[in-house]
Each structure stands twice: as C-alpha cells, then as structure tokens.
Amino acid sequence: MKKPFVTIAMPCLDEEAYIEACVRSVLAQDYPKDRLELLVADGMSKDSTREILARLAADDPRIRVIENPARIQSAGINAILAEAKGEILVRMDVHCEYAHDYVSQCVRALEETGADNVGGAQRARAKTLFQRALCAALDSPLGVGGAKYRSSDAEGFVDTVFLGAFRRRVFETAGMYDPKAVTNEDAELNQRIIEGGGKVYLSKDIVVHYFPRGSFQALAKQYFKYGQGRARTLLKRGKFLSLRPAIPFLMTLTGAAMVLTSPFQPFTPLAFAAYALGTGAEAVRVGRDLGPLGVPLVWAMFPVVHVSHGVGFGVGLVKYKLFPDWAKEPERLDHRDDGSEAGLAPSPT
C-alpha cells in the first residue's frame, strides 16, 4: 500500500547561512521520495536565500518556493497550505536538525494514534557554554513549568507539541494558522483542535533538535515575545487549556505587588530570599556538571525567563485588549476529494 503523500512546510526569512543544509537534510529523509514535496514560504528575503532556493528547486522538482509577503511564519504556512498536495502536512523550521526518520515517525504516529497532530519533544542542542546552561535551565520544571513537550521521555496525548505533523482535515475543520500570530501560533492552533474534539500526541520517537538563544539579551527578548503571544491567545480564545502559561505573569505580578507594599508588610525579603534559594538549589541540581560558571549562569537564567515572560504577558494583555488583531473565525482550507491542489475558503459565520 502506498504511503500517504506528505507536504513539508518550511517558512524562512534571510536564511542564506542555513537554508541549503536544512533543505538537503529534509530531502534525505528515509520517506519514499515520490510521496513527498517540500514547499518553502520565503518572507521576501533580502539576502541570497531566494537564489539558493531557486538553484535547489531547479535540481529537484519536489521543491517549490512560495512567496510570503506578510513575513510572519504562520502566514507563510497558510500560503503553503493553499498549494499543498499532501494529505499530511509536516511543519519544519530552518534552525533545527531532524532525525533521518523524522517524517516517517510523524506519519507512523498519526496512523497508530489516530491523532490530528503529532510531534516530538523540543530537544535543545548546544554549541556554547551559555547554550548548555540554557539547556539545563529549560530541562528544569522551574524553567518551563513542567511542559511535557520539553521532555524527551514523555509520550502520550498532550495540549501542544513542537512543530507538528497534521492531517489535512484539521485545517478544513479547526481552521488554519492565525496569520497575525508572531508567536504561540502552534499552541493556539492546537487549542482549537482540542476544543473541537481533536487530539494532539507527543511521541518520543519523533526526534528533532533546535539551537537555543546565545545571550541573555536574546533570551529576554524571546521570552518577552512568548509572553505577549500567550496573552494574545488567552484573549482570543477566552481560556487556556492549563494554567501553566500564566504562571510567570502571576509570579511577576505578585513580586511587583510585594515590592510596592514592602513598607507596610515584612514578607517581601522572605519571599525574595525563598525564590533565590529555590532557584539556586535547582541551578546546582541541573548545572553542576557544566563547570564553575555553569551554576551561576543557570541561576541567572531563571529570573530572566520568568520576568521576561511575565512582563511580556502583562504587556500583551493590555496591548491586545485595546487593539485585538484577529479575525472572529479562522480561515479554513477547502475540503477536497479528488487530490487536486487546495484552495481557501472562509469559515462560516
């Protein structure tokens, strides 16, 4: 029996240093070559990314380049969906390394679990001491709040996964990616899937690695954006599937309230000391094998992640409450039965 046809969706922007190696690794997957296509949505790159893609596409007809004038990843994936031939869509990012059987394992997990979306854990791979320390911090429950998609040993039905491989029908029923979501677009889509009665599955056999940020400034900026994105999702959907995304905001809000009321109560020094001791002990536990600088680096990363995410969440609540930028209903993909290329259809109101 033939394997299902797979469309790999890869958004990119100014990736001349990485795009060729990533594309070649994707095309070297062990999945049948005649059952796979790679669609790259380029966000109008200014470097030589487009020239590299044109050269690669000239050598391999499985590669097609889609223009993404919106420059946002989620909008790029929607543009890919409009032209995808596959009954399964596998999302891939450029700054990741994929196991040679990544696509095969995604298809297997979809078939065996009956899930609507499957994915692997968000495994970090480090090149520098800072990245190794960050990997240790993010492996800790204090760093990610016990998110299952961060654990390489976790398996089962979850609320979200890293990247994802979807049955086409998901986009016909739950709707497509939110085209204006700069961050948290995966979790928002997965929330819609689950709210509609679908299932999301995390498989430890789906292996992909990503490279974490390389400085405190980049880390703070990343988690500030994450916080904004999660606040936007909360306002858009009206709820979270779990309280976890709001915990850094609640911690930051509580800390700020304690500082402001410190002249009137004696608990602020005790609370901050307890936080410092707790994060310090965890830094020793997860960072002691990194050398003399490992523990201090991990220790400093906890407040950076917590406060950046918390402040970003608060800013996002205000920003998107005042200026919501999402449509009432997500755009959906046309249903098709004949295997022809997809088109777009607005959701019913």
**Whole-number pLDDT of residue 145:** 63
pLDDT digits 0-9 by tens, 300-340:
999 999 999 999 999 999 999 999 999 877 889 887 764 44
State the SS3 of 166-198: EECHHHHHCCCCCCCCCCCHHHHHHHHHHHCCC
**Are residues 127 and 263 located together in one domain of the fold?**
no
Does residue 264 share a domain with residue 204? no
Same domain, residue pair 266 and 145: no
Q: Indicate whether 329 belongs to any domain.
A: no
User: Is the CB of residue 241 less than 8 Å from the CB of residue 157?
Assistant: no
**Domain CATH for 16:** 3.90.550.10
Q: Which of 154, 182, 213 is a domain's end point?
A: 213
Q: Is residue 218 assigned to a domain? A: no
The answer to whether 205 and 109 are in contact (CB under 8 A) is: yes
The upper half-sphere exposure of residue 297, i.e. CA atoms within 13 Å in the direction of its Cβ, equals 24
pLDDT in tens, 267-295: 999 999 999 999 999 999 999 999 899 99
- Residue 321: which residues within 8 A CB-CB, separation 6 or more? 235
Q: State the pTM of this model.
A: 0.88
In the DSSP assignment, the letter for residue 303 is: H
Co-location of 173 and 304 in the same domain: no
> Would you say residue 339 lies in a domain?
no
By residue range, what is the domain housing residue 312? 236-322
Report how far residue 39's alpha carbon sits from residue 24's, in angstroms, rounded to the nearest whole number. 13
Instruction: Report the domain count for the chain.
Output: 2
148 with 268, same domain: the answer is: no
Query: Would you give per-residue pLDDT tens digits along the chain (349 residues)?
Result: 789 999 999 999 999 989 999 999 899 999 999 999 999 999 999 999 999 999 999 999 999 999 999 999 999 999 999 999 999 999 999 989 999 999 999 999 999 999 999 999 988 888 899 999 999 998 888 886 667 877 788 899 999 999 999 999 999 999 999 999 999 999 999 999 999 999 999 999 999 998 889 999 999 999 999 999 999 999 999 988 788 888 999 999 999 999 999 999 999 999 999 999 999 999 999 999 998 999 999 999 999 999 999 999 999 999 999 999 998 778 898 877 644 444 444 443 3
Strands, DSSP E only, in 137-268?
A: 156-157, 162-167, 200-202, 208-210
Contacts 24+ apart (CB under 8 A), 107-112: 107/3, 107/4, 107/6, 107/31, 107/165, 108/205, 109/165, 109/201, 109/203, 109/205, 109/206, 110/165, 110/167
Are residues 167 and 127 part of one domain? yes
